[in-house]
Amino acid sequence: MGSGNVAERLTDAFTGNGIKVDYLLSKSSRGQQLAANYGLRRVNNPEDIEGEGIVLLCVRDDAVNEAFARRFSESVLLCHTAGSVPLSALGERRRKGVFYPLQTLSKNRRLSFEQVPLCLEAAAKEDLELLAALAGSISRDVRFLNSQQRLHTHLAAVFVSNFVNRLYGIAGEILATEGVDFDILKPLIEEVAAKIKDVEPAEAQTGPALRGDGKVIDKHLQLLENQPEYKEIYQIITNSIIKHKKEK
């Protein structure tokens, strides 16, 4: 349902694991393509979906609302896939749930769903079990989160993915001013992400801010003199590191 990155990656994961996807609800050309690629029956309206199956709404967070939900048959288990949207956004219906994959899903980038945490919620116990079985067919990491937990998890995910990626971008711009290739940072980026698997963040922290090395910090700030935006980011995160320093 929907034809964006989430729909595409989920369709790929389900069909790859022998789970039949019946319908695709989408009017877009990308939806047509997706339906053609995976042999799905494409429909234009929620009212066209029949049976008692699970319907996954892979749409923008702000497209999940009661009016839209009301158009689906009461007999389907209607689920949204949005981290920031509460279960209640699907209205008063009995059969409703959430199927939230916690991963960054890109258009042209396949990834194994086996490691993707699937965060589930449902109004009815039987429906939660149904979702767990479905989730378990494509991932080994199935979790039960209520709406409040999911919202916080979504926020935390923004910090470690969107915000981290922006820091990568800033670093790339800093290097470009001196003609240094971004790939010089790749082993470091990889190691920082790998380290966190074994060591908790406070323990893994290193660098001038943690060491209280004011001289290096001053040099860095001077380099950013003409980029007030990056200077401000530098200062605020540096202060945060100093403030939350764990005594070793």
Q: Quote the CA–CA distance of 100 and 121 in Å, as a whole number.
A: 9
Are the CB atoms for 47 and 23 separated by under 8 Å? no
> 72: which 2 tokens?
């689906």
Q: Which is nearer to its own copies, 23 or 234 (CB)?
A: 234
CA distances from 111 to 6, 119, 136, 189, 231 (A): 12, 18, 16, 19, 36
What is the helix (H) or strand (E) element at residue 124, kind and residue range? none
- The window from 29-37, 43-51, 88-96, 220-228 that contacts its own copies (CB under 8 A) reads 220-228
Among 36, 124, 133, 158, binds its own copies (CB under 8 A): 158
Comparing CB distances to its own copies, the nearer of 11 and 139 is 139
Cβ(246)–Cβ(203) under 8 Å? yes
Task: Based on DSSP, count helices (H) and strands (E) in the chain, helices before strands.
Answer: 11, 7
The site string for its own copies over 40-79 (x = CB under 8 A, - otherwise) reads: --------------------xxx-----------------
197 is an interface residue for its own copies by CB under 8 A: yes
Question: Does residue number 19 form part of the binding site for its own copies (CB under 8 A)?
Answer: no
Considering the rule CB under 8 A, would residue 140 count as an interface residue with its own copies? no
For the chain, the residue count is: 248
Q: Is 225 in the site for its own copies (CB under 8 A)?
A: no
List the one residue from 219, 225, 226, 228 that touches its own copies (CB under 8 A).
219
Binding residues for its own copies restricted to 89-128, rule: CB under 8 A: 102-104, 106, 109, 111, 115-117, 119
Q: Which residue in 21, 123, 135, 145 binds its own copies (CB under 8 A)?
A: 145
- Is 136 a binding residue for its own copies by CB under 8 A? The answer is no
CA distance 38 to 19: 12
Choice from 125, 187, 225, 247 touching its own copies (CB under 8 A): 187
The stretch near its own copies (CB under 8 A) out of 22-30, 37-45, 122-130, 164-172 is: 164-172
DSSP output for 38-79: HT-EEESSGGG--SS-EEEE-S-GGG--HHHHHTS-TTSEEE
